[in-house]
Structure formats: structure tokens, C-alpha cells
């Protein structure tokens, strides 16, 4: 169960991080790529923030995630500049791909009858509990 403080910090980080990443993508020459921050969960001691990103188009996701992870110190610095009046310490940032939209899309396709996961159980991969 998240405390109000964790939720508040997660919300602040989510809003500012979305702007930082979208600005970086557009200034980096990535046209047509949409990066949205779907969830930010902060640990109880506020030292680590797990950030779940939704990247469209999906084929760009793994390359972009690597780029974001390699630029984490720069992103963290930019965030700390933006939140310096709200946060004393900037948590460590950990980035993950949020694949829930893709998973939902596969479920919808199977419901429409395009593909049948009962005949081929490999179509819907094992879901990790977050």
C-alpha cells in the first residue's frame, strides 16, 4: 500500500518526466515517437523510483529504453532542477517498458477470433506480476 507521500512524489515525477522525455525525443530528431510515462512507483524510503514507459511505435521501444537508461544521470539532473522546490533528494531512477497496452491488444485480437490462444498457448506470454 502506497502512502500519500509516495503517491504525491510519484505524481510529480510522472508529470515532469513525461515532459523531459518528450522534449528529448523531439529534440533528438525522433519524429512520430510518443513516449508516455504510464506509472511511477516510489519505494517506501523514497530512494528508488520505478518508472514504466509506454513507447509508440512499439518496435522502437527496446532501442529507446537503452538510450533512456544510458542517459539516466542527465534525466535525473534535469528532473532535480525541475523539482528542487518540491523534493529534497531525487530518487534513483529505474526504467521499464510497460507492455500492458500490447498485452491488452493481443487479448482483444483473440476475442475477435483473429488468433486463438487456446489452440496456440504461446500467443499470450506469461504475465509478470508487478
Domains of the chain (ranges; CATH) run 4-120 (3.30.300.20)
CA distance 9 to 46: 8
- Model confidence, pTM: 0.75
* pLDDT for position 130: 54
Q: Is 42 helix (H, G, I), strand (E, B) or coil?
A: strand
The CA-atom distances, in angstroms, between 2 and each of 9, 43, 94 are: 11, 9, 18
pLDDT per residue rounded down to tens, the chain (130 residues): 778 999 999 999 999 999 998 888 777 777 778 888 999 999 999 999 999 998 887 787 888 889 899 999 999 999 999 988 888 889 999 999 987 777 787 788 778 776 665 666 666 666 666 5
* pLDDT for position 114: 64
* pLDDT for position 26: 77
- Closest alpha carbon to 47 in 106, 112, 93, 95: 93
Amino acid at each position: 500500500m502506497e502512502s500519500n507521500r509516495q503517491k504525491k512524489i510519484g505524481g510529480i515525477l510522472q508529470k515532469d518526466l513525461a515532459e523531459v522525455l518528450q522534449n528529448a525525443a523531439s529534440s533528438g530528431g525522433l519524429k512520430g515517437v510518443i513516449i508516455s510515462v504510464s506509472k511511477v512507483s516510489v519505494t517506501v524510503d523514497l530512494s528508488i523510483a520505478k518508472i514504466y514507459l509506454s513507447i509508440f511505435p512499439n518496435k522502437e521501444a527496446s532501442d529507446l529504453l537503452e538510450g533512456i537508461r544510458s542517459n539516466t544521470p542527465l534525466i535525473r539532473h534535469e528532473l532535480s532542477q525541475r523539482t528542487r522546490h518540491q523534493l529534497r533528494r531525487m530518487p534513483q531512477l529505474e526504467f521499464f517498458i510497460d507492455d500492458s497496452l500490447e498485452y491488452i491488444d493481443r487479448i482483444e485480437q483473440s476475442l475477435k477470433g483473429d488468433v486463438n490462444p487456446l489452440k496456440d498457448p504461446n500467443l499470450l506470454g506469461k504475465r509478470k506480476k508487478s
